[in-house]
Chain A
Amino acid sequence: MIDLKRISKWVNVGGKPNFILKDINLNIKEGEFVSIMGPSGSGKSSLLNIIGMLDDSSEGEYFFLEQAVHSLKEKQRSQLYKQYIGFVFQAYHLIDELTVYENIETPLIYQNIKSSERQAMVADILDRFQIVGKKDLFPTQLSGGQQQLVGIARALIGKPKLLLADEPTGNLNSRQGEEIMELFKQLNNEGVTIIQVTHSEKNAAYGSRIINLLDGRVDLS
């Protein structure tokens, strides 16, 4: 599903390239649950952003479902992204001015799905996550765990094949964290490919494979 070949990312600091990622080769198959681990600044989030097409690599090739992402036009890439990828953040990143319902609905709006269909889809997922009663509340009225639940619901509403999570439990207490990881496990069993960035060994253990990053390189030791 995902094939990274010699991916590098750098920023120029004072005229010299400062590598964030260097020579990453990575292959992830459909249905995997991958955990990316590594110390702060090792390039975990950058790698996730490149996989999630939120950021470009400076060099290298990226194939997503056999398509060469590195050479796609912005529009096609966005099409691909909209269709197959969902994102979950550490800080949830819900729009404060929208209700739970509207937050979840937002991706569908950008996929030009009709209003009646949207209603059905949002109702479904609210039901599944058991947050129907919260649908008219605003994010600030929810606990952290509930907000992250909404964040995941939003990521899943477009039925993506790939779920990317950047430290999804980082802002949660351990009980809430466990609930989220259980949910991930369950989603993975349903066939969703998941890549998560995490600091916690315990969370990483939920996955089927662990990739360790160190100073922008895959640490094979």
Chain B
Amino acid sequence: MLKNYLKIAFRNLAKHKFISFINIFGLTVGLTCCLLILTYILHETSYDRYHKQADNIWRVTRSWNNKEGIVSLHLGAVAPPFGPLLQNDFPDIQKMTRVLLTGTQPMRYEDKVFNEKDVYFADNNLFSVFDVPLLQGDRRNALTDPFCVVLTPAVAHKYFGNADPINKVIRLNNQYNFKVTGIFEPLPGNSHFHPEIMLSFNTLKDSTIYGEKNLASNFGNNAFFTYLVLPKNYPVKNMEAQFPAFIDRHMPANKKDPAAKPSQYTRLYLQPLTDIHLRSHLDEELEENGDIKRVYIFGAIALFILLIACINYMNLSTARSTLRAKEIGIRKVAGAHRQEIIFQFLSESVLVSFLALILAAALCWLTLPSINTVTGLQLSIQSLIQPAVLIPILLTPVLVGLLSGVYPALFMSSFQPSKVLKGLFKAGNGTVSFRKVLVVTQFAVSIVLLISTAIVFQQLHYMQSTSLGFSKEHVLVMDYNVGLNNTYESFRTRLLQDSRVLQLSRSSRVPSGRLLDQSGASTESGDSLRPVSADIKFLAVDHDFINTYKIPIVAGRDFSRNYTTDSTNYVLNVAATKALGIKTPEDLVGHSFAYGGAKGRVIGIMGDFNFESMHQQIVPLILTMPTAKQAYNFNNISIKVAGNDVTGALANIEKVWKTYLPEIPFQYTFLDEKFDQLYKSEQKQGSLFTCFAGIAIFIACLGLLGLSAFSISQRIKEIGVRKVLGASTGSIVGLLSRDFLKLVAIAALIAFPIAWYTMHSWLRDFAYRISIEWWVFLIAGIVAASVALITISFQAIRAALANPVKSLRSE
């Protein structure tokens, strides 16, 4: 019996090639999207779970707050003394390990010099906390001695070729020699950090590098990522509750408020290792993390697309099934029970949806490599092959098949054969209205996606084109090297001799980065200085920073080489004056001001500018100028070049660089590229949205095509009669299209509030955002309606042009 069913199923598919094609194809596309998104979600949620102790590893994080408890800063890293002190005070801590990410470091072996980005200091017990296989060397003490280094095979190969890397000596920053003691396997893609080079933590004890005293007492340098191993199912909240007392025991009092306990201004937290990638959005992370919200958004999109595809499948199956009315009548006459008819239809639709699943899996397998190339992710189809995932995937077609088969099956099997065979069969109004609901749902989803896409791109355009309050064009950014500390002035003069180099400046950070450094500030109050409660971040700069970035001065003046005392003077931004409660910026100029304990004078107020990404509010900012001795504050050099000959300028800068820093590779990025990078995730989101919106609309149109074909076939006699009575082709097309456009209109009305709400909450992530315009909705509606109209016209025009004699003869 089943054989007979399958046979007729296939012959039916083959007979109505067009309808079968859009039916199967629609579902295939939908399922492919779902599978792809599923691999992405599985990848995102798998982060750091591969460690054997994953569930017992916790990261220590630290926040700063004012007395009212409002958190101004929360870092994923803490100061170096915390780790050992915690281990000392809490015996439940089984292991503690720390890593410190260094900036880019030039490394050299013989004549090979490279700038290395992912260089970490790592505690010697890192290997016993994290599952990082050591390919060569001894797990227990590869990182024990100072000045030891372990590398990934790729890095080792870069420096040593095929020679055995163990015990080779590599030179860091032209200052220190490190001995290679091990080779470790690179951490997989789903790890929250990816060291390429790990230096032994004990190296930091060297006083020329960091010093034991600093390690034990510097509570200000919160850059050490500290991980604890706790017993299984440990009550972490209890330990966190003891942290305030712990802080008060060990930390010095807050300078702004010496009477208060330190724990009133700072807190420590424990964060599960497996939460870092998706749920941690702290101000300092080792790498850019994912976002659980994004996972939810994509999950929702996957479900939506699956929904649309299923609806579509149901819709077309129902349409198709009416073509089979006669067959059902004959089968009933031949003695088929109702159940047998139901079984036939259900098995057929399950079979077809399985076919779609197989095609989808194949498509997924084919497209995944190129998706990985485009997105830079390491998605793998293998992640789908595990029982917890595979079983639901295999059940989907059964469910989809049943859902889409059950309606036609029940409906068709109830036909009175005598009526069907007499040609009296007409699908009841029930089918049509049910399927109208389906079409409305599909279009509502499509319109939501269309609007979302438009708004994502508007916001993206807004962020990239809005004036930032400074000039980011033709600015090169490079890592500052301590080798320039004593020669910087002559280096600068040499560069400025080239007319293509307009200006250059050193600073602790460059725009597009974060502003995280902060000290206490005091303002003039009568004869003395009084600490202020406002949070003001600082940026260490030299004389030329404001000039290089063309930041407007609102009041007072810029730093100048003409005033030798400027190294103790300050420039603030307008936001800072507001935070200090000063109405007109001029009022502050010339007054005494202390920052980080150093007394000086406010010489100027600069305009607000978007140093950080548009996600962040412009924060109160102070520019400080370190003395020549404090040049270690500088991390970057920014060089503004003329736009007409950038290549020539670059060549010359490189030449000068090589003269002053022969040991250091010349490496630069353009600032506007760095800004583009900031919005990479929005950019990706935008293009993915476009893709999904396109797919959704496409599938919805397939559904509409099916529905219109069906409904027109039901009205063929009416059309014939109207034509005989003199209706024009145009009026008939209008008549047929009107009904469907009504559906799109209803869909739009449902979609608008949903889209408004979701995009409104999406935009809340941005401190600087567009307002949602009504015309976006209008355009999305018009687009959907036009696409729908074009789809319907195919059928409607054909029906309207058909010879009425033909359609009327059948009666």
Contact = CB atoms under 8 A, between A and B. Distances in A.
Interface of A: 45, 49, 54-55, 75, 78, 81-82, 87, 89, 91, 93-98, 102, 105-107, 109-111, 154, 158
B584 interface: no
Interface stretch (B3-11, B459-467, B505-513): B3-11
Nearest to B417: A54
B8 A97 contact: yes
Interface of B: 1, 4, 7-8, 11-12, 15, 326-327, 329-337, 340, 416-418, 421-422
Contact of B337 (A97, A107, A110, A158): A110
Nearest to B326: A93
Nearest to B416: A55
A93 B337 CA distance: 18
Nearest to B339: A75
Contacts of B329: 93
Nearest to A88: B333
A82 B326 CA distance: 19
A109 B8 CA distance: 14
B4 A106 contact: yes
A96 B334 CA distance: 15
A81 B416 contact: no
A106 B12 contact: no
A173 to B, nearest CB: 20
A97 B327 CA distance: 9
A45 B418 CA distance: 9
Contacts of A93: 326, 329-330, 333, 421
Contacts of B337: 75, 78, 110
A97 B16 CA distance: 11
A8 to B, nearest CB: 17
B326 to A, nearest CB: 7
B15 A106 contact: no
Give the 3 A-B residue pairs with the shortest CB-CB distance, closest first: A82-B335, A110-B335, A97-B11
Contact of A106 (B11, B331, B417, B422): B331
A107 B336 CA distance: 8
A109 B4 contact: yes
A87 B416 contact: no
A210 to B, nearest CB: 23
Contacts of A111: 335
B11 A109 contact: no
Given A54-B417, A111-B335, A95 B340 contact: no
Given A55-B416, A98-B11, 16 more contacts: A45-B418, A54-B417, A78-B335, A81-B335, A89-B421, A91-B421, A93-B329, A93-B330, A95-B8, A96-B15, A97-B11, A106-B4, A106-B334, A110-B331, A110-B335, A154-B334
Contact of A97 (B12, B336, B418): B12
A105 B331 CA distance: 11
Nearest to B3: A115
25 contacts: A45-B418, A49-B418, A54-B333, A54-B416, A54-B417, A55-B416, A75-B337, A78-B337, A81-B335, A89-B421, A91-B421, A93-B330, A93-B333, A93-B421, A95-B326, A95-B327, A96-B15, A98-B7, A98-B11, A105-B4, A106-B334, A110-B331, A110-B337, A110-B340, A111-B335
A45 B424 CA distance: 14
Nearest to B4: A109
A147 B705 CA distance: 35
Contacts of A54: 332-333, 416-418
A102 B10 CA distance: 14
A111 B12 CA distance: 24
Contacts of B416: 54-55
A71 B327 CA distance: 28
A106 B1 CA distance: 9
A49 B329 CA distance: 13
Nearest to B420: A93
B331 A55 contact: no
Contacts of B11: 97-98
A91 B810 CA distance: 13
Given A78-B337, A97-B15, A55 B327 contact: no
A96 B7 CA distance: 12
A109 B12 contact: no
B330 A95 contact: yes
Given A54-B416, A87-B333, A95-B330, A109 B421 contact: no
Nearest to A56: B416
Contacts of A78: 335, 337
Contacts of A105: 4
A75 B356 CA distance: 36
A106 B330 CA distance: 9
B334 A110 contact: yes
Contacts of A110: 331, 334-337, 340
A87 B11 CA distance: 25
Task: Choose among A81, A105, A107 the residue with the greatest number of B CB atoms under 10 Å from its CB.
Answer: A107
Nearest to B11: A97
B467 to A, nearest CB: 68
A109 B12 CA distance: 19
A104 B216 CA distance: 94
Contacts of A106: 4, 330-331, 334
A158 B334 CA distance: 9
B334 A107 contact: yes
A120 B60 CA distance: 81
A14 B337 CA distance: 33
A78 B332 CA distance: 9
B7 A102 contact: yes
A55 B416 CA distance: 8
Contacts of A81: 335
A94 B329 CA distance: 10
A102 B418 CA distance: 22
A82 to B, nearest CB: 4
Contacts of B336: 110
A77 B554 CA distance: 97
A194 B14 CA distance: 38
B343 to A, nearest CB: 12
A173 B421 CA distance: 22
Contacts of B417: 54
A158 B333 CA distance: 12
